[in-house]
Chain A
Amino acid sequence: MESANEIIRIEGLNKTFHTKDGDVVALDDIHLEIAQGEIFGIIGLSGAGKSTLVRCMNLLEQPTAGRVFFDGQELSELGRKELNEKRHSIGMIFQSFNLLMQRTALQNICFPLELVGTPKAEAKKRARELLALVNLEEKENSYPAQLSGGQKQRVAIARALATNPKVLLCDEATSALDPNTTRGVLALLKDINQKLGVTIVVITHEMSVIEEICSRVAILDHSHIVELGRVEDIFVKPQSQIARHLLFPAGKKKFKFGSGGRCLRIVFDGLSSYEPVLSSMVLECGYPVNILFADTRDIDGKAMGQIVVELPDEEKAVHRMYAYLNTQGIRFEEVKDL
């Protein structure tokens, strides 16, 4: 109750799985607050515990220790029936969509309404509204088997929204989709967040998903939160090894970094990237650089990105470049190992 607008609060959460090969700690000492109306990202590599964390938010997974508050109410204090009622205000979507295969799109969206005893006609009307919201009016009588991955996820989103939840939990919701479809689904989530004010929690292993829609992010590594903050800040100045790793996907690390050479990571924070910074720097300093990695994209309408260049061997040149970047107010850092 400390902060009026927080919808989810997690205190000292621990989840340990007891397996026959011994105990496995999936989450340890997790503290987290998610504000009403934000899009909060949780990113980590597979096995980091992120899916377990999101399942603790609606108690699909029982925490071993710690407390989970939803809308000021501690969830583990609730009885089975009260918990089920609470869950009507926590929507969830999944990587594998998890639609009822023997129901049409419309019937799938009616499902959560049936659970709360909404009259049939009313449920149908609401389901049609939701189908319109996710742009699938013409698919109301299609079965999941007849829908594409993106369409299935849209139906799942509509279904999750049927009972007007306050929060929508997205567990790797775009991981099974191709990049174009992913963009469409993310745009839809953003739209829902803005139109309906639904708080969205996004679990992903892809930094691009976080950059695209999240305002804040927690980076999860080996059962711990290693970084937490605004996406822009973490993007511009990642503190942890894992954050760097996520920012530079291994697949793109094609180049072996120079013969002991130093590398410079130049960050575009949304102000400067339309100016030819790199060319200007090279012209100004009179030394060429080798571009090792470049990645820019549109985040929240601002151009964000990063370029990693290999620095020349001469110390003089490096100093000049640093000075140039400083005068231009461009953020940069020297990197050794990505």
Chain B
Amino acid sequence: MKPELLQLILPSTWESLYMTLISAALAYIAGLPLGILLVVTDKNGIRPLPTLNAVLGTLVNLLRSVPFLILFIALRYVTSAIVGKAYGARAVIVALFVAAAPFIARMVESSLKEVDPGVIEASQSMGANTMQIICKVLLPEARASLLVGAAISITTILGYSAMAGIVGGGGLGAVAINYGYYRNETAMMWIMIVILVAIVQVFQEVGLYLSRMVDKRIR
């Protein structure tokens, strides 16, 4: 393999991973509590707060319904205010965070809703308070599903990050678009595609493996 090629592939792979993992981590910081809130404040939840639930639900739906590319463009002034410029990997992270947090909130919500209501009722009968139910029942009982959700979320974010290549984001997507589309160097584009596919596979498999590892329901 030519060294120039390697010099192109390695930094852009790193950049993609960096954008994806940083924004996934940030999005989980916001999305996990948001998902928990959506479950807890549901009308059948452990602390029903219908108004708050409706507001949060609507917010999540609004953000989820804006296509990522458009969101990235729409946020460009916010982005430059935060990171100083509206292009490049760090700018993409801001948009990825905004797009991924509500997505993750919904993933977390659906994982937590899989927890048997009977188990929650049992813990209430034992005098568990809301915080204890969240920390000792909901999250641990849903951990297998949460891990699968994390794998799906990360691969989705990776896909978004590649898309941002077309509007000046960095990483593998940018290389694929610049070479494959603007310069018509198809081979380069295919290399990037293969790398992207490989990364998705790795995240997916690792996620599923971890999920199986921690799940004590299957024996």
Q: Show the binding face of A for B, using Cβ within 8 Å.
A: 58, 60, 80-81, 83-88, 90-92, 94, 96, 98-104, 111-112, 114-116, 143-146, 156, 159-160, 163, 169
CB–CB A102/B122 < 8 A: no
Q: Show the binding face of B for A, using Cβ within 8 Å.
A: 116, 118-119, 121-129, 132, 136-137, 140-141, 143-144, 214-219
Give B150 Cβ to nearest chain A Cβ, in Å. 17
Known: A101-B216, A101-B217, A115-B132. A85 touches B141 (CB 8 A): no
**20 more A-B contacts (CB under 8 A) besides A92-B122, A116-B127?**
A84-B127, A85-B127, A86-B127, A87-B126, A98-B116, A102-B141, A102-B143, A111-B136, A112-B127, A115-B123, A115-B126, A115-B127, A115-B128, A115-B132, A115-B136, A144-B217, A145-B219, A156-B122, A159-B126, A169-B125
CB–CB A96/B219 < 8 A: no
- Chain A residues whose CB sits within 8 angstroms of the CB of B127 once the complex forms: 83-88, 112, 115-116
A94–B117 Cα distance when bound, in Å, is: 12
- Chain A residues whose CB sits within 8 angstroms of the CB of B128 once the complex forms: 84, 115
Known: A145-B217, A146-B219. A90 touches B125 (CB 8 A): yes
Give B68 Cβ to nearest chain A Cβ, in Å. 34
A96–B121 Cα distance when bound, in Å, is: 11
A68–B198 Cα distance when bound, in Å, is: 62
Of chain B, the residue at the smallest CB distance from A84 is B127
- Chain B residues whose CB sits within 8 angstroms of the CB of A90 once the complex forms: 125
A103–B219 Cα distance when bound, in Å, is: 13
Pick the residue among A81, A85, A143 that contacts B219 (CB under 8 A): A143
Give A79 Cβ to nearest chain B Cβ, in Å. 12
CB–CB B140/A102 < 8 A: yes
Give A145 Cβ to nearest chain B Cβ, in Å. 5
Q: How many A-B pairs fall under 8 Å by CB?
A: 83
CB–CB B118/A94 < 8 A: yes
Of chain B, the residue at the smallest CB distance from A81 is B129
Pick the residue among A81, A92, A146 that contacts B125 (CB under 8 A): A92
- Chain A residues whose CB sits within 8 angstroms of the CB of B137 once the complex forms: 100
CB–CB B132/A60 < 8 A: no
Of chain A, the residue at the smallest CB distance from B47 is A80
Known: A100-B137, A143-B216. A111 touches B129 (CB 8 A): no
A-B contact pairs, 18 of them (CB 8 A): A60-B121, A80-B129, A84-B128, A85-B127, A87-B126, A94-B122, A98-B118, A100-B119, A100-B141, A101-B141, A102-B143, A104-B216, A115-B127, A115-B128, A115-B132, A145-B217, A159-B126, A169-B125
CB–CB B126/A111 < 8 A: yes
- Chain B residues whose CB sits within 8 angstroms of the CB of A92 once the complex forms: 122, 125-126
- Chain B residues whose CB sits within 8 angstroms of the CB of A111 once the complex forms: 123, 126, 136
Give A86 Cβ to nearest chain B Cβ, in Å. 7
Closest 3 CB pairs of A and B: A87-B127, A98-B122, A84-B127
- Chain A residues whose CB sits within 8 angstroms of the CB of B144 once the complex forms: 102
A188–B124 Cα distance when bound, in Å, is: 24
CB–CB A114/B136 < 8 A: yes
CB–CB B216/A102 < 8 A: yes
A146–B217 Cα distance when bound, in Å, is: 8
A88–B124 Cα distance when bound, in Å, is: 10
- Chain A residues whose CB sits within 8 angstroms of the CB of B126 once the complex forms: 87-88, 91-92, 111-112, 115, 159-160, 163
Give B144 Cβ to nearest chain A Cβ, in Å. 8
- Chain B residues whose CB sits within 8 angstroms of the CB of A112 once the complex forms: 126-127
Of chain A, the residue at the smallest CB distance from B116 is A98
Give B125 Cβ to nearest chain A Cβ, in Å. 4
- Chain A residues whose CB sits within 8 angstroms of the CB of B123 once the complex forms: 111, 115
Give A101 Cβ to nearest chain B Cβ, in Å. 5
- Chain A residues whose CB sits within 8 angstroms of the CB of B119 once the complex forms: 98-101
- Chain B residues whose CB sits within 8 angstroms of the CB of A81 once the complex forms: 129
- Chain B residues whose CB sits within 8 angstroms of the CB of A85 once the complex forms: 127
A143–B141 Cα distance when bound, in Å, is: 13
- Chain B residues whose CB sits within 8 angstroms of the CB of A146 once the complex forms: 219
